């Protein structure tokens, strides 16, 4: 069945450094969403990407959808302690019978 992978699993950065997490699907996605879960909290929607090659920005966060719609990335510029949490990608595809598939997440720690 369809799989969605994320790398890295964990990332520790010094405050001010950049951070990138990558999401890869075994099949072509209809769209992809990114969610953030703070420690002890619940996932919160960040953004949705639909078009091939789409790039969206939210302040210091840049999201990209691959040309083949099988991968995506989230890049954070100049991390802050408020960026701490786990970032999940979630994809829909016909291969998964339109069930949402969440990646395992990348846990980000920011050292002040």
Partner 1 sequence: DSGVTQTPKHLITATGQRVTLRCSPRSGDLSVYWYQQSLDQGLQFLIQYYNGEERAKGNILERFSAQQFPDLHSELNLSSLELGDSALYFCASSVVGGRAGDTQYFGPGTRLTVL
Q: Which of 23, 61, 76, 101 binds partner 1 (CB under 8 A)?
A: 101
**Residues 48-87, mask of contacts with partner 1 (x by CB under 8 A):** x-x-------------------------------------
Determine contact, residues 76/19, Cβ cutoff 8 Å: yes
List, in order, residues 6 or more apart from 7 with CB less than 8 Å away.
21, 22, 24, 106
The minimum distance between CB 16 and partner 1, in angstroms, equals 27
Binding to partner 1 (CB under 8 A): which residues in 11-40?
Answer: 30-31, 33, 35
Count the neighbouring beta carbons within 10 Å of the beta carbon of residue 35: 19
Q: Which of 42, 59, 82, 112 binds partner 1 (CB under 8 A)?
A: 42
Q: What angle do CA 98, 102, 103 make, to 5 degrees?
A: 135
Handedness of CA 52, 23, 109, 112 (dihedral sign): negative
**Which SS3 state, helix, strand or coil, does residue 98 take?**
coil
Does 111 help bind partner 1 (rule: CB under 8 A)? no
Would you say 64 and 77 are in contact if contact means Cβ atoms under 8 Å apart?
no
Q: Output 97 or 112, the one with its CB closest to partner 1.
A: 97
Out of 16, 68, 99, 111, the only residue in the binding site for partner 1 (CB under 8 A) is: 99
By the criterion CB under 8 A, which residues form the site for partner 1?
A: 30-31, 33, 35, 41-45, 48, 50, 88, 90, 92, 97-105
């Amino acid at each position: 069945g369809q799989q969605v992978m994320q790398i890295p699993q964990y990332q520790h950065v010094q405050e001010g450094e950049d951070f990138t997490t990558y999401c890869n699907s075994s099949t072509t996605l209809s769209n992809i969403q990114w969610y953030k879960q703070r420690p002890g909290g619940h996932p919160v929607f960040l953004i949705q990407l639909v078009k091939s090659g789409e790039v969206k920005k939210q302040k210091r966060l840049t999201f990209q959808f691959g040309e083949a719609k099988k991968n995506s990335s989230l890049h954070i510029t100049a991390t802050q302690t408020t960026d701490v949490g786990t970032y999940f990608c979630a994809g829909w595809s016909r291969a998964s019978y339109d069930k949402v598939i969440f990646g395992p997440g990348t846990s980000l720690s920011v050292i002040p």
